[in-house]
Structure 1
Amino acid sequence: MTRRALRGPALPARWLAETGVPFGLRSALCALATLWLAMRLELDTPHWAAWTVLAIVLPTRGQVGLKGLWRVAGTLVGLVAGVAAVAAFAQAGLAMGAFLSVWFALNAYAGSRLPGFPAHGAALSGLTAGLIAILSAAAPLSAFATALARGAEIMLGVACVYVASAIAEVVQGPPEHPAPPPSGMPDAAAALANAARTLLVTGAAWAVWTATAWPSGGVFVLFSGVVAVIFATIPDADRRSRAYLWGAGLGLGAGLVVKYGLLVAPTSFGLLAATLFPFLFIGAVGMTDPRTASAALGYNLSFLIAVTPANPMQYDLAASLNQCLAVFAGIAFATAAFRLVLPDRLWRAGR
């Protein structure tokens, strides 16, 4: 009787934990708290701080700390590379395009050859350098300020998610079966193929931007390159990329509905948080299931980009649609590269 009584209440708790609900609650609340702090600190793009939470949150404090350190390291390298690129190539569009193509390719190769969390750092190195170079294209003298803001957003997100993980361990204790650290890596041929795909896709995206003068072409280039680096760090990228693309489309659509359907009037942060919470919660829970993790990663990034929460909110439907189209097109461009370029040189799980 005693054993049954003890085990009875434990079963719902265990079932609840296995659904990812506690993880989703913690992740969504931490992302909102980080967003609030970023707004209070008047950072340029507070949604990047909130996205950092969703990008590195993991079941244990040790895993979060390690992944966060690699994210910080990759960001710092990207900051230096981005500022240097603007200083050297701000007035030379062709040279800047070549630099970013090579930089993303180098990060794709490094991410392929570095197992686990270091690969995350490689992806952030490419993303950060690309952000600084593209955001500073119209005003090169703003590159250093952009780099400082980007670094502050990442550091804030890492610090907040680490604190949230530490509190969760105190309240709930460590998980019974922590997720094993990532292992394995592609061989040299697959790593070189990843670099070649990334070089081609970034260079081609830059050529499209140059030829069309698309106002959101820089965003298209950025996501073509960074998503190619992300795909380079995971096995079976050609298969998972479709789910990532589908999730990104869902996140962009949901974000536009939230911004222009639910947040059309000036609002307090409390109402903003209450509106965003269910959408962030769903994305965080999706990351706990291997079957939906790839789609959830695409959803989490694109949702916050579509909403672009800021203080005050900025509403320009044409600009938002243009940016969302550029994000989706960039991800689709990278997806196509991994399905069509050197398809026999891909990292396969369980090889």
Structure 2
Amino acid sequence: MPIPDLSAAAPLLPGRPAARYPLRDLRPLAFGLRTALAALAALWLAMWLQLDNPRWAAWTVMAIALPTRGEVKRKGAWRLGGTLLGLLAGLIGTACFAQSSVGAGLYLAAWTALAATIGGRLPGFGAYGTALAGLTASLIMLETAGAPLSAFDLALERGSNIGLGIACAYLASVAAEALHGAAAPATPPPPPAPPAAVIAANAARLVLLVGSAWLLWFVTAWPSGPIFIILAVSLGLNFTTLPNVERGTWPCLWGVALGQAAGLALKFGPLTSTPSFGLLAATLIPCLTIGAVGATDRRSAVLALGFNVSFLLAAAPQNPMQYDLGASLNEAVAVVAGVALVVAAYRYLWPRHLWRHP
């Protein structure tokens, strides 16, 4: 089953709003094209290396692309560090609780709460790195729930894709600076860390999120239950890094739904007749560019976050491509349901204890 990689919108620093560009400014379009091309390069390299989930490499580019190579380097370092920590935590959880679904659920809930607590006390990219640690552990444990002996192989593949994506994003930023200089749009300093009460509420919120999602999967044996849980973990952790998150919950849900619709339409439309990578890239690049451009402006950044999270998951570019409409629709329901659960948690669980910043 393909697993999504939810990350902050491409040019958004945790806790910092995206720039608001005038309509005639071409920098967002240039950034979007650069990011899309780098993502496609990472996708091609991952396919050439015969990695099973090449979209992870492309997702990484979309997640860490930023205006300058210094920012890409810092965010990439936190992503890599968080991924490695999450891989270790996921392997430990699989080794200890492969035979206990209840124990695995409790372990993952505790790890997610710990990631939210530590992330709330770290500025900027530190919160992003801890969110990746929570996501990666859930991915390893849930993807290998039926085959725990494959956990190490999945961890190795995950790390390889992430490293490849970071390298492609960094090289793209270096090339852009060499061509156009290192000037970047002005951004305000990051807001202060959330209050202790908000950090505690976020941790408790995530425990309930993971617990309720896990319980639903345990009771129903839903085939797409793992992806439902991973969406709850991933987006729940991502929301802890963003102030004023209540303003973006519905746009994010709409973005996820749009990404699923666009991805499925391409997968079972043009992608059924793309025998070469060139045609595959030509099919994907418009949506990748739109997603990257949308993330550069605060008016559309949260919507783009949801879209970028969802699109590559639904389109599922693989080598070879797999076409199972029933499974794809089932996963689409799981993705939207997981995001809807997170939206409900942030809107109705302790709404007075959210991180608000002017």
TM-score w.r.t. the length of structure 2 is 0.92
Q: Percent identity?
A: 54
Are 1:190 and 1:346, in contact at CA under 8 Å, matched by a contact in 2? yes
5+ residue gaps, structure 1, are 1-12
Aligned to 2:357, the other structure's residue is in SS state coil
Equivalent position of 2:92 in the other structure: 84
Q: C-alpha deviations, 1:276-332, integer Å up to 9, x for none? A: 000100000001101111111110110000011001100000111111111111111
In the alignment, the residues of structure 1 paired with residue 208 and residue 235 of structure 2 have an alpha-carbon distance, to the nearest angstrom, of 13
Alignment of 1:1-351 (within 5 A): 15-18=24-27, 20-180=28-188, 182-350=190-358
In the alignment, the residues of structure 2 paired with residue 238 and residue 169 of structure 1 have an alpha-carbon distance, to the nearest angstrom, of 36
Aligned to 2:269, the other structure's residue is in SS state helix
Report which of the two structures shows the higher radius of gyration computed on alpha carbons: 1
Q: C-alpha deviations, 1:234-269, integer Å up to 9, x for none? A: 111122121111111100110000000111135210
5+ residue gaps, structure 2, are 1-21
- Range with greater deviation from structure 2 (238-247 or 274-283): 238-247
Equivalent position of 2:19 in the other structure: none
In the alignment, the residues of structure 1 paired with residue 23 and residue 215 of structure 2 have an alpha-carbon distance, to the nearest angstrom, of 53
Per-residue deviation, 1:16 = 3.6
- State the one-letter code of the partner of 1:94: V
Per-residue deviation, 1:181 = 5.3
TM-score w.r.t. the length of structure 1 is 0.94
Per-residue deviation, 1:151 = 0.5
Q: CA RMSD in A?
A: 1.4
Aligned to 1:347, the other structure's residue is in SS state coil
Q: C-alpha deviations, 1:27-80, integer Å up to 9, x for none? A: 010000110001001112100110111111000110110000000000000000
- State the one-letter code of the partner of 2:351: P
Per-residue deviation, 1:138 = 0.8
In the alignment, the residues of structure 1 paired with residue 188 and residue 76 of structure 2 have an alpha-carbon distance, to the nearest angstrom, of 17
- State the one-letter code of the partner of 2:100: A
In the alignment, the residues of structure 2 paired with residue 143 and residue 137 of structure 1 have an alpha-carbon distance, to the nearest angstrom, of 9
In the alignment, the residues of structure 2 paired with residue 124 and residue 238 of structure 1 have an alpha-carbon distance, to the nearest angstrom, of 22
Per-residue deviation, 1:103 = 1.1
Equivalent position of 1:7 in the other structure: none
In the alignment, the residues of structure 1 paired with residue 294 and residue 128 of structure 2 have an alpha-carbon distance, to the nearest angstrom, of 19
Per-residue deviation, 1:178 = 4.4
Are 1:266 and 1:313, in contact at CA under 8 Å, matched by a contact in 2? no
Are 1:116 and 1:181, in contact at CA under 8 Å, matched by a contact in 2? no
Per-residue deviation, 1:182 = 3.0
Are 1:103 and 1:126, in contact at CA under 8 Å, matched by a contact in 2? yes
Are 1:104 and 1:226, in contact at CA under 8 Å, matched by a contact in 2? no
Specify which structure has the higher proportion of helix. 1
Structure with the bigger RCO (C-alpha within 8 Å, sep 6+) is 2
Aligned to 1:263, the other structure's residue is in SS state helix
Distance 1:237 1:176, change over 3 A: closer
- Range with greater deviation from structure 2 (238-247 or 61-70): 238-247
- Range with greater deviation from structure 2 (130-139 or 171-180): 171-180
Are 2:191 and 2:357, in contact at CA under 8 Å, matched by a contact in 1? no
Are 1:243 and 1:295, in contact at CA under 8 Å, matched by a contact in 2? yes
